[in-house]
Chains A and B, each alone.
Chain A
Amino acid sequence: MSVQAPQPPAAITVRMYRGLLGDCFLLTQTLPDRPPYRALIDCGVLQCIGAAGSKPATKAATVHMQDVATSLAADTGGVLDLVVATHEHYDHLSGFLLAFDTLKALTIKKVWMAWTENPTDSQANQFRKTTDSALSALAGAVKLTALAGDDRLESIRDLLQFYGDLDDIAGLGLTGKAPQALDKSPRSCAGALDWLKLKAPDQVSYLEPGEVVKFGLDDSLTAYVLGPPRTMARLKQLDPSAGAGREVYLTKPDEVAALQSTLKIHQGQETIVANDLPFSTRFSLGKDETAGFSTAVLYDDPQAKDRRIDAEWLGSAETLALKIDGDVNNTSLALAIEAPGGDVLLFPADAQVGNWLSWHDQTYPAKPAKPDDPVRSAPDILSRVVFYKVGHHASHNATARAQGLELMTSPHLAAMIPVVETVAHEQKSKNNPAGWSMPYPDLYARLLAMTQRRVVRGDGQLADEQAAFQDSQKFQLSYDGANPDDPLWAELRLATALPVEPAAPE
């Protein structure tokens, strides 16, 4: 195909909204003489955690979300054929909180979520019950005034911001939650998922790994559901190296129970029962009954304040919060979308290593309808990937190497990274003094090499990106023309074959 050829009528465009440390992708399929088909994959931006003054770029981006929503509503004519909500994190769903008044007016015809969000799936419910009660306990801990100011508490508070409003999180997992109303803005990511379920009743699909779903105009697009995995061993694997030390990664109900009972005791709840305490009351005294005991004097010695352990249990609470963060990332709905002609677009959301590796555990479809039906394998699908939405804003542990990126061997490969490096670097904490390393340098260098620099970033330099795509035989890069200096979005247009006529029903 020569560069001068007229624009092919059959195409898919991937639009990435820029300036967000968060995912917001609009997929549009066009065919001659047909209204376009539009799918929204996530809509979120990182929460502005902590003092806004120290994070001007983060704060600006949350305001920016409103512009994104307005553009989205205008350019789609208020109709989305499909919304994919990949996982319960703020940087993927917060559009539904921050720009609710704009987005609530949309018509949403269909919703896809991972099986982990299915309220009738017992495995999913068990997983969510653990996660929800942990989040709720952690939110309770953050509110303990006696411990205010502790670094670990601040770190927990930061991690909880990925789920929405603290009060709302504290109520997670509680029974008798009031049913949500369609016109009431959700306050947490769980609430956003519930709102979407309500918005498209009977049109919500909970996708299983290995499922193959036809969609788009004339069902001419194929989605291969790669993850999240059903096997717990994969679901809990967050980091590449596995070993005895890593085995206890997935959040366990007993850790959550321990935190809950600690919390109950500290909140002075009246429901404390014998089972909450390790020893019979005749062996123990309250903190105000210790007068006269020499060891209590040692403990209270003002000279040895630094040796006290009153808040030491927050260490395990912080570890728990980190684990949950990784666990939820691993429930990402990872999709490979095949266009007519065989080119594949890969959207792994924030899948971590276990999710990636699990793609190779099954065929597509996992169980063919007839034994002789052809099935696809993960390496086959990955070898045809021409577009990669880089996972988790290109962090260090969300793109598998040998079983992932290195299998994307197409010479046409291009990538989009929903990242704003200045915002990532603003996320400084005691634990990450330099902020987040996004994009992670080693991965970024490899991406540039494999795509011959065809990488579009949420904060990219337009001239560089345009130059890189000059010779692309697959993609045309364009930007939001209304804001030429700092376009709201970048778009990659991929010419596709015309769909094959669907076989006549038998």
Chain B
Amino acid sequence: MSHSNLPLRLPATRRLRVYAFDPQASLDLGSTRFGHATIALTWNDPADGLLEPGPVNDYLEVVDIDPCSDKFYPPIDLNAVEVLGQDGLPPSEGDPRFHQQMVFAVTMKTIKLFERALGRKVIWAQSWNNEKKTYQPTHKLRIYPHALREANAYYSRGKRALLFGYFQALQRSAGASWIFTALSHDIIVHETTHAILDGIHPRYSEPTSLDSLAFHEAFADIAALFSHFQLYEAVYDYIDRQSGQLDQSGLLSGLASQFAKGATGRASLRDFIDKSPNPDLLEGTTEPHDRGAILVAAVFDAFLSIYRARTSDLLRLSGIRPGEGRSLHPDLTARLTKEATKSADHVLRMCIRALDYMPPMDVRFGEFLRGIITADTDLIPDDRLNYRLAFIEAFRNRGIFPDHCLSLSPDNLLWDEPLVTDPDDPGFLNTADILNEDLNLLPEYRRGDITVTAENNRRKVWYWLVQPDLRINDDRDSPENRRLKQFLAQARAAFSTDSAEADLEKPHAAEAFIEREAATLRGWGLSAQNLTALREGLARADSHFGRWQVFMAAMSAQGMHIKRRVEADRAWEDALGLFFNIPDGDRLHTLSRDDTSLHVEVHSVRTTRRAGPDGQDIRQLVIEVTQRRRGYLDPDVQAAQDRGEGGWSEGDFTFRGGATLIIDLRDGRLRYVISKRIDDQARLDQQRRFLLDPHDLAFTYNQGRMGEPFALLHRH
């Protein structure tokens, strides 16, 4: 039969069954119709890579080892016909292979949700390799579905893994003897979101203020909460029963109900409908989850306003007045469900997009609001449906205000754009040269390439940012200056490809570059003595960045025919809120690591491509740059150390400053610099007071536990 050789078209999706909420909701009579859901993952996305038993693909590796039971659970093969033929294994608490399937499916779904809103691929947080003195990419996030015996699940930064616990419930209302957090849709989304957020903003896990840890929790809850609204049947049923209203507490507005019943006896872990918000609420709340809950409630409130605005016409057309409790026509319920789903999708996407528009560290809730408003304004200039006003009002009602904002009008909440637009002005922040020459901005589709490209770009931007502004003559566009610029770009390309470790067998690309360009350097005035010093410095440096610093010192050394434009460097320092050199006036010696060099670190460079509803196409480069300063609990010690007195000593804590830069890739224009100054004394005082107050987060003293900040937050 010849047609047996005809290739068959690959399926579009791989369908996997999961519990829609958790095993208990699937048994409740009220919710049993929508207790199970099916997640459809793209069949052939090259970014996902090969799907192997585990499941393992290029994003995730599910490793089912259970140290508490001293057992290993063999992995599921999602390509087995028994799985393919029936949309995955049927939901089951008793078969660990179903647990593997569900935790994989929900995590993948969450990843794809973020990628769609962010306009790029998700990258996991890097890990610091102390031997090689560099960050290393994390290719695959590991998932342990049965890691612990406790009512807890967390994202472990050190292990680059999600750890899910299970426990035996004493509370009979939980409806099962064993409760598995790996079977709770909400908990999986929540933990995955922690991991994704950590990949975007690695410094957000540091407890610098009441808001910083609370934000991590709140954002993870926001993602979990709004993912409920993708469950069409559940939303339909809910709207039907509530006659079109969404503002009653219930399955949709609460989180992790089985877990909560098993662990605490409450109906849900957290419920986010607050009936009587007040503007003093945030001020008086100091527990991180409680504080986070206020932020989530604000976002949920914005969602309710948007839903009401989108559905008021439908209800009027049908002659329904809100709250009269009439039963709805099924067609109307279906339309309302669509609007609810769409509103939730828009709200969640607005929140995710805001992540790129936020400072790299020490985040505050008010800055999240500014991020939401600015990101949305960039993509959708015309706010016809008043989404942004809905957010502003919901935040205002709960007392979430940004610092230094004149008013809460949408214009005032936008981040500031750079003031100087004349390229010849010494205060102009020039970003064109980094874009034109060295970055690899082509989208990659294989995950291995994505992480390599991202790391390569990161190093180049890092070198570029810290390099002094060098010119041979005053005309910015002269052939000499253009040649120098090109030379530096080549240098960045060469230096950035070096592996980090000191490998004596083969010369570094950096050293090879210097040998190749020795004549050029001599032409620019590098003395033989300085060239020798440069060679020795390169051989001695213990990291790729150290080599670049040595090179830059040589380029701006005495005797070179290259001028350093100090005013331009100052302008950058001023905009970024950090310092490339110890500032004048004998201050801020606490910036130096060993009293010689300052450390400025670019820890993230990302490109995004987003499409708006009216065909808008936004392409941006987002760069996060930070600097550390030694902080001391005693203000007098701080002052002395800042002045460089009393001998160098390890700080009691790390204080960070820095900025997020957003560059428009279409024209190379620097759009925003969202900075937090390293010399902000008030912010330093705030962080010190926060760390000294054991009433709020006693574990901040426990530096030993900082390795698992999320574990502890979840345990208490």
Which residues of A approach B to under 8 Å, CB–CB?
151, 239-241, 243-249, 252-255, 257-259, 261-262, 265-266, 276-280, 283-287, 289-290, 293-296, 298-299, 306-313, 315-316, 319, 396-397, 429-433
Bound-state CA distance A244–B705 (Å) is 22
Binding site secondary structure of chain B: mixed
| Contact partner, B97, options A283, A293, A319, Cβ 8 Å | A283
Q: Across the interface, which residues of A come within 8 angstroms of B148, CB to CB?
A: 312-313, 315-316
Q: Would A284 and B75 count as touching, CB distance under 8 A?
A: no
Bound-state CA distance A295–B66 (Å) is 13
Q: Across the interface, which residues of B come within 8 angstroms of A433, CB to CB?
A: 703-704
Q: Would A290 and B54 count as touching, CB distance under 8 A?
A: no
Interface residues on chain B, number (Cβ under 8 Å): 68
Q: Would B72 and A289 count as touching, CB distance under 8 A?
A: yes
- Interface flags, B152-173, vs A, CB<8A=1, else 0: 1000101111010011111000
Q: Across the interface, which residues of A come within 8 angstroms of B147, CB to CB?
A: 309, 312
| Contact partner, B159, options A276, A307, A430, Cβ 8 Å | A307
Q: Would B72 and A309 count as touching, CB distance under 8 A?
A: no
B165, closest chain A residue (CB): A316
For the complex, is B701 an interface residue (Cβ under 8 Å from A)?
Answer: yes
A128 to chain B, nearest CB (A): 18
Q: Would A307 and B72 count as touching, CB distance under 8 A?
A: no
| Contact partner, B163, options A151, A296, A309, A311, Cβ 8 Å | A309
Q: Would B704 and A430 count as touching, CB distance under 8 A?
A: yes
Q: Would B142 and A266 count as touching, CB distance under 8 A?
A: no
Since A298-B54, A396-B694, A433-B703 are in contact, a sample of 5 more A-B pairs with Cβ atoms closer than 8 Å, ordered by chain A residue number, is A254-B167, A295-B61, A310-B67, A313-B68, A397-B694
B596 to chain A, nearest CB (A): 26
Stretch from B284-292, B426-434, B534-542, B620-628 at the A interface: B284-292
- Tell me the residues in window 125-180 of chain B with beta carbons closer than 8 Å to chain A beta carbons: 142, 144, 146-150, 152, 156, 158-161, 163, 166-170, 178, 180
Q: Would A293 and B74 count as touching, CB distance under 8 A?
A: yes
For the complex, is B696 an interface residue (Cβ under 8 Å from A)?
Answer: yes
Bound-state CA distance A283–B64 (Å) is 11
Q: Would B286 and A294 count as touching, CB distance under 8 A?
A: no
For the complex, is B200 an interface residue (Cβ under 8 Å from A)?
Answer: no
A283 touching B65 in the complex, CB below 8 Å, given contacts A244-B290, A309-B159, A315-B711: no
For the complex, is B62 an interface residue (Cβ under 8 Å from A)?
Answer: yes
Q: Would B63 and A299 count as touching, CB distance under 8 A?
A: yes
| Contact partner, B71, options A244, A249, A284, A306, Cβ 8 Å | A284
A126 to chain B, nearest CB (A): 13
Q: Across the interface, which residues of A come within 8 angstroms of B69, CB to CB?
A: 262, 265, 276-278, 284
Bound-state CA distance A261–B170 (Å) is 15
For the complex, is B695 an interface residue (Cβ under 8 Å from A)?
Answer: yes
| Contact partner, B287, options A246, A257, A278, Cβ 8 Å | A246
Q: Would A245 and B290 count as touching, CB distance under 8 A?
A: yes
Bound-state CA distance A259–B167 (Å) is 10
Bound-state CA distance A309–B164 (Å) is 11
Most chain A CB atoms below 10 A, which of B144, B158, B712, B716: B716
For the complex, is B14 an interface residue (Cβ under 8 Å from A)?
Answer: no
Q: Across the interface, which residues of A come within 8 angstroms of B159, CB to CB?
A: 306-309
Q: Would A245 and B716 count as touching, CB distance under 8 A?
A: yes
User: Which 8 A-B residue pairs are closest in the complex by CB-CB distance?
Assistant: A430-B704, A243-B287, A284-B71, A258-B149, A316-B150, A431-B702, A262-B68, A245-B289
Q: Would A247 and B264 count as touching, CB distance under 8 A?
A: yes
A296, closest chain B residue (CB): B72
For the complex, is B698 an interface residue (Cβ under 8 Å from A)?
Answer: yes
Which residues of B approach A to under 8 Å, CB–CB?
52-54, 56, 61-75, 94-97, 142, 144, 146-150, 152, 156, 158-161, 163, 166-170, 178, 180, 263-264, 270, 285-290, 293, 694-696, 698, 701-705, 708, 711-712, 715-716
Q: Would B170 and A265 count as touching, CB distance under 8 A?
A: no
Of the A-B pairs whose beta carbons lie under 8 Å apart in the complex, a sample of 20, sorted by A's number, is A241-B286, A243-B285, A244-B270, A245-B289, A247-B264, A258-B168, A265-B70, A277-B69, A283-B73, A285-B72, A294-B56, A296-B65, A298-B142, A299-B65, A308-B159, A312-B156, A313-B150, A316-B148, A319-B716, A431-B702
Q: Across the interface, which residues of B come within 8 angstroms of A316, CB to CB?
A: 148-150, 152, 715
A257 touching B70 in the complex, CB below 8 Å, given contacts A245-B288, A307-B160, A429-B704: no
Q: Would A241 and B169 count as touching, CB distance under 8 A?
A: no
B494 to chain A, nearest CB (A): 28
Q: Across the interface, which residues of A come within 8 angstroms of B169, CB to CB?
A: 254
Bound-state CA distance A298–B63 (Å) is 8
B287, closest chain A residue (CB): A243
A257, closest chain B residue (CB): B168
Q: Across the interface, which residues of B come within 8 angstroms of A258, CB to CB?
A: 68, 149-150, 167-168
Q: Would A241 and B695 count as touching, CB distance under 8 A?
A: yes
Q: Across the interface, which residues of B come within 8 angstroms of A246, CB to CB?
A: 287, 716
Bound-state CA distance A268–B70 (Å) is 10
Q: Would B287 and A294 count as touching, CB distance under 8 A?
A: no
Bound-state CA distance A259–B165 (Å) is 13
Q: Would A277 and B75 count as touching, CB distance under 8 A?
A: no
A245 to chain B, nearest CB (A): 5
B704 to chain A, nearest CB (A): 3
| Contact partner, B56, options A252, A298, A396, Cβ 8 Å | A298
Q: Across the interface, which residues of A come within 8 angstroms of B163, CB to CB?
A: 309, 312
Q: Would B160 and A278 count as touching, CB distance under 8 A?
A: no
Q: Across the interface, which residues of A come within 8 angstroms of B95, CB to CB?
A: 279, 283
A287 touching B72 in the complex, CB below 8 Å, given contacts A244-B290, A245-B287: yes
A21 to chain B, nearest CB (A): 19
Most chain B CB atoms below 10 A, which of A262, A276, A278: A278
Bound-state CA distance A284–B144 (Å) is 15
B103 to chain A, nearest CB (A): 13
Bound-state CA distance A4–B163 (Å) is 72
A278 touching B178 in the complex, CB below 8 Å, given contacts A258-B168, A307-B160: yes
Bound-state CA distance A308–B286 (Å) is 34
Q: Would A239 and B698 count as touching, CB distance under 8 A?
A: yes
Q: Would A241 and B696 count as touching, CB distance under 8 A?
A: yes
A242 to chain B, nearest CB (A): 8
A277 touching B67 in the complex, CB below 8 Å, given contacts A309-B159, A431-B705, A432-B701: no
A442, closest chain B residue (CB): B692
B665 to chain A, nearest CB (A): 36
A249 touching B70 in the complex, CB below 8 Å, given contacts A239-B698, A280-B94, A298-B56: no
Q: Across the interface, which residues of A come within 8 angstroms of B96, CB to CB?
A: 279, 283-284
Bound-state CA distance A296–B63 (Å) is 7
Q: Would A295 and B75 count as touching, CB distance under 8 A?
A: yes
Q: Would A309 and B161 count as touching, CB distance under 8 A?
A: yes
Q: Would B142 and A255 count as touching, CB distance under 8 A?
A: no
Q: Across the interface, which residues of A come within 8 angstroms of B287, CB to CB?
A: 241, 243-246
B180, closest chain A residue (CB): A278
A243 to chain B, nearest CB (A): 4
Q: Across the interface, which residues of B come within 8 angstroms of A307, CB to CB?
A: 142, 159-161
Bound-state CA distance A139–B73 (Å) is 29
| Contact partner, A279, options B94, B156, B695, B698, Cβ 8 Å | B94
A271 to chain B, nearest CB (A): 15
Q: Across the interface, which residues of A come within 8 angstroms of B62, CB to CB?
A: 295
Bound-state CA distance A246–B95 (Å) is 34
| Contact partner, A312, options B53, B67, B696, Cβ 8 Å | B67
A278 touching B146 in the complex, CB below 8 Å, given contacts A294-B52, A315-B711: yes
Bound-state CA distance A399–B170 (Å) is 34
Q: Across the interface, which residues of A come within 8 angstroms of B716, CB to CB?
A: 245-246, 248-249, 319
Bound-state CA distance A261–B66 (Å) is 13
A294 to chain B, nearest CB (A): 6
Bound-state CA distance A261–B180 (Å) is 17
Q: Would A294 and B70 count as touching, CB distance under 8 A?
A: no
Bound-state CA distance A327–B263 (Å) is 19
A381 to chain B, nearest CB (A): 26
B270, closest chain A residue (CB): A244
Q: Across the interface, which residues of A come within 8 angstroms of B68, CB to CB?
A: 258, 261-262, 265, 313
A286 to chain B, nearest CB (A): 7
Q: Would A431 and B704 count as touching, CB distance under 8 A?
A: yes
Bound-state CA distance A311–B68 (Å) is 9
